[in-house]
Structure formats: C-alpha cells, structure tokens
Amino acid sequence: MRHKRHKKIIGKAKGYFGRKKNVFRRANEQVMKSGQYAFRDRRAKKRDFRRLWIVRITAACSHCGIKYSQLIHGLNTQGIQLNRKMLSELAIADMSAFKAVVEAARKGL
C-alpha cells in the first residue's frame, strides 16, 4: 500500500524540477502546495474574467455615451437580466445590439 501511495504522488509530481519529481517527501510537499495553488486560482480565475468583462463593457459604454454604473442600474430597473459575460460579448461582436440594450437601459434611468 505504501508503494502504491508513493507511486501515485510521484505520478502527480511528474514534470516538476529537481528532487520534487522523484523523492517522495519533496514530491508530496510540492503536490500538496500545487493543490493549494490550484484551489486558490480556480476562484481567482472567476474574479479575473468578471473584471475583464466589466472593462470591455465600460469601454463600449463610453463609446455609447453612458457610464457603466448607469447601464447596470438601468438594466436592473427595466428588469432586463443580462449577465456581464453576455454584455461583453454583445459589445465585441454585435455593437448594434449593444446599443439597443443601452437604449433600453436609458429608459430605466
């Protein structure tokens, strides 16, 4: 069982530099740390993408002559449920549709 456990950890450590790839104690430490990084960064990735979408929407809003906060507030008061990912995709791919959304949001202000 010990051999099986060690082999599993060494397999996960494949590709690491130096002794971290073939010495069990070092490999185990690095695999544990790598797991912590992976857990942390799966959450950070979500934050980073939301930030990117907001930057894209803000740029498109300034092009349409409205502030980002006014757009979001107008959409909420109108009851239009579009998430930031879809808004940024509209801003990139279909500016005319984004302008229509902006006009609908202006009615809610």
* Parent domain of 91: 2-107
User: What percent of the chain clears pLDDT 90, i.e. is strictly above it?
Assistant: 98
What pLDDT is attached to residue 108? 85
Separation in Å, CA 18 to CA 14, 21, 22, 29, 106: 11, 6, 8, 13, 60
Instruction: List the structure tokens of 74.
Output: 């107008």
Closest of 34, 48, 50, 42 to residue 87, by C-alpha: 50
CATH number at residue 60: 1.10.1900.20
Q: What does the pLDDT look like over 51-103, one tens digit per residue? A: 999 999 999 999 999 999 999 999 999 999 999 999 999 999 999 999 999 99
**Global pTM value:** 0.80
**Chain CA centroid to CA 28, Å:** 29
Contact between residue 101 and residue 80 where contact means Cβ atoms under 8 Å apart: yes
Question: How many distinct structural domains can be found in the chain?
Answer: 1
